[in-house]
Amino acid sequence: MINKNSMENDASHIRILLVGGGTGGHFFPLISIAETLNTLPLKPQLYYAGPTPYDTAMLLKEQITFVQIPSGKQRQYFSFLNYLDFFKTFFGLFVAFFKLYVIYPDVIMSKGGYTSVPVVIAGALLRIPIIIHESDAIIGKANKIGAKVARTVVTAYDETIDSVPKKNSVIKLGIPVRKILLSNPSSNAITNLNVDPDRPILLVLGGSQGAERINALILESLDELLTDFTVIHQTGTQHIEVCKLSADTLIPDASIRKHYHPIAFLDATTLNDAYHLASIVISRAGSTSIYEIALHGKPSILIPIPEDVSHDQRTNAYAYARTGAGSVMEEENLTDSLLRAEIDRIMQSEEIYAKMSSSARNFGARDTGERVAELVMKTAQEH
């Protein structure tokens, strides 16, 4: 825990620059760290660097100043855009060097992702202390670059340590999670989500943008699932209307269809309520999603993005499954009958359900945001 009294006299002079990603999995753990830093009596000055602010309202709420620094994305597949983006990253390095020199933060907290590369390199050239956080079981390309110059690398999996260049700099603390996702459910959670409290609930998460294959699988399975379960389904904004129309067609009986709840996007409060109410979570295998599921102690069925698109999710899923907290189903082999069989295997055995729930709770640490914030402040004060 951060000793607030010892920092009261000098925290307001400290400048901390946050950088990472371009996705919620990078952005929101940084927000979790900022939430803790903002509880100090004299708060440090916070900055967020990247090509775009990602979530302007969230930055404003946490009193974080946005610093625009361009960066190019290196795609996993062949694309001429990779060549163009290389020059964008190179240009971003010069911009980052100039802006970091002006701000001169006491520490850079990097979550990885392509947007972090120019900032981390510029920070190393300016001898600014760097802390890297890696959420995945295998360190990503950007963080592998950053880890070579970082003072500390924070991880969530034991497996990550083997892929870090400087192993003596690694600390396993977990993944910072926003405070709202660590809170009790809303008093009117059942009413707000309009669910039947007497039915077990399946929470389906395809990521913030949804996942077409998971959406299609759930729609194909509705006739079997809705006989016994309520389904809360985050579809993604671009898929919501298709899912609603498909459900109307596939399940014409309104008395059964009322147990299907497609939602374009679950905000933090609603997502927290849904986690608390869910019996099982069916999800992609993004590291932050896995950690949130674990902190709520929910058995899960993970459907990672296919390996030809992303190696990270498959590695995350199997690393998590080895703890006994979840099971993994490969997208290319998945059918509605196999999904229902796996749900029944978990739900119909008190022993399996209890073991998965217990393993999930043992996997996650609820105070990671505070512990990483403490590390950031300690590093900044030593600068």
pLDDT in tens, 280-317: 999 999 999 999 999 999 999 999 988 766 668 999 99
Residue 80 in this model has a pLDDT that exceeds 80 = no
pLDDT in tens, 154-170: 999 988 988 887 777 89
Q: What is the pLDDT of residue 74?
A: 58
Out of 65-79, 173-187, 307-321, which region has the weakest mean confidence (pLDDT)?
A: 65-79
Bridge partner list, 307: none
Q: What is the pLDDT of residue 312?
A: 86
Residue 76 in this model has a pLDDT that exceeds 80 = no
Q: Stretch 343-358: mean pLDDT, rounded?
A: 98
- Strands 15-19 and 326-328 come out as unpaired
Contacts of 312 (CB under 8 A, 6+ apart): 136, 137, 138, 140, 287
What is residue 283's DSSP assignment? E
Query: Where would I find the beta strands (DSSP E) of the chain?
Result: 15-19, 45-50, 64-68, 107-110, 130-134, 152-155, 170-172, 201-205, 230-234, 260-263, 280-283, 300-302, 326-328
pLDDT in tens, 230-272: 999 999 999 999 999 999 999 999 999 999 999 999 999 999 9
Q: What is the pLDDT of residue 155?
A: 95
Cα atoms found within 13 Å of the Cα of residue 117, Cβ hemisphere only: 21
pLDDT in tens, 22-70: 788 899 999 999 999 999 888 999 999 999 999 999 999 999 999 999 9
Tokens of 203: 């929470």
